[in-house]
Structure 1
């Protein structure tokens, strides 16, 4: 897998050149294969991750092993917000949903860098606020919008984060992201395919009509896109 520009992470790209150069020596590019677990629940966090084109899900694991996705994070943000808030653990798993690359930084170095860089710390706090809003938006979406609308919104978000209309994701993984059974997501995918919005084959979904996909989705996509657009403004 070829290296991507470090500025592919939109959160880091909002930093000034001097602040970014201060952080750069501590960042390393890493490949994140599909299904890799970055964090285990209530275990120490070793790294913070800034995705470049990978998509990571924060996953709640219930008794009995059932998994529920809380939200997904891509090149708009970072994985490891407990480090910003002064803790070293998270009660969820972090799992690679779509394979790709990320920049990572050791947790101890990241925490010390935050303490010595007010601009970076302020940016990370604003990101935490937006991420909390994203999780809340997802909860409202599950309650108020149809599974098909939610699927359209989430596919649009994935395309933004991957930077390509081709999404390497299984329908099983998509069903967990959308919050429906696999049979339900199969029906949605087939419906969107017949409408010409997406193409699909085993393990891959291709966005064919992005404008149509957004129109078929709920308002959540537009709401979150606006929120992330404000991240660069204090």
Structure 2
């Protein structure tokens, strides 16, 4: 049986009205989400939507030559698989677990049925979708106009917002794939942040030592995204 306390670590699930929550609870399936697991590939039919609780999922656009760039991150604030209720059965992006943890999933047909009830669930999911679109748009702007150093700070802060602690388990190669840059660029950027006393990076583990310092160093893009999420999706604590 699903543990309701664990499921409500996901803010969208925690925000469900009681009637919808009671209807969803028996259908939520707890899942492990190991680092690097692909939840869905571009163009494939989605069979589930995922609600991360202690994991983070990266949405990546993959080019024909294999190069990739991250377009958004999803953690305990949201869900993976919005195309199911936005009128499509698939998406052009790939969803990959960027920080290992757990989550819950719901069958695709169940999600579509819930959305089509046109009640509070639909409005909640549409507000989340608007916030996610803001993140995607701001990521595109950031990648075009801001330095790798600023992008790395933005990425770290967005990831931290979706975790309970201050440490990420992440290889330089995976960060490079997400930011769409060379691995050497990530190494140089991480060393700069470490020398400034903002992070400690060793053996694939990034510990954030000075979050206010990261916020001062990043560009405006992080604040724009955070403000929109806070406006559209006020956090409801798990009960």
**Which interval holds the TM-score relative to the shorter structure?**
over 0.9
| Equivalent residue number for residue 221 of structure 1 | 222
How do residues 104-119 of structure 1 correspond to structure 2 at under 5 angstroms?
104-116=105-117, 118-119=119-120
RMSD: 1.7
Q: 1:4 to 1:36 in 2, by over 3 A?
A: farther
Moved >3 Å (runs of 4+): none
| Equivalent residue number for residue 46 of structure 1 | 47
| Equivalent residue number for residue 233 of structure 2 | 232
Once residues 154 and 83 of structure 2 are traced to their aligned partners in structure 1, the CA distance between those partners, rounded to angstroms, is 27
Provide, for residues 63-109 of structure 1, a one-character-per-residue CA deviation record: whole Å limited to 9, x for no partner.
12222222111111110001111221111211111111111001011
Q: Is the 8 A contact 2:190 2:201 kept in 1?
A: yes
Once residues 232 and 209 of structure 1 are traced to their aligned partners in structure 2, the CA distance between those partners, rounded to angstroms, is 26
The alignment status of 1:173 with 2:171, answered yes or no, reads no
- Which structure 1 segments of 5+ residues have no match? none
Between stretches 175-184 and 50-59, larger displacement belongs to 175-184
Once residues 157 and 26 of structure 2 are traced to their aligned partners in structure 1, the CA distance between those partners, rounded to angstroms, is 33
- How many residues align? The count is 232
| Equivalent residue number for residue 237 of structure 2 | none
- Which structure 2 segments of 5+ residues have no match? 235-239
Which protein, 1 or 2, shows the higher relative CO under an 8 Å CA cutoff with sep ≥ 6?
2
Provide, for residues 37-60 of structure 1, a one-character-per-residue CA deviation record: whole Å limited to 9, x for no partner.
111111110100011121111112
Provide, for residues 101-138 of structure 1, a one-character-per-residue CA deviation record: whole Å limited to 9, x for no partner.
11100101111122225101111111111111110000
Once residues 215 and 4 of structure 1 are traced to their aligned partners in structure 2, the CA distance between those partners, rounded to angstroms, is 35
SS for the counterpart of 1:111 is helix
How do residues 1-234 of structure 1 correspond to structure 2 at under 5 angstroms?
5-116=6-117, 118-232=119-233
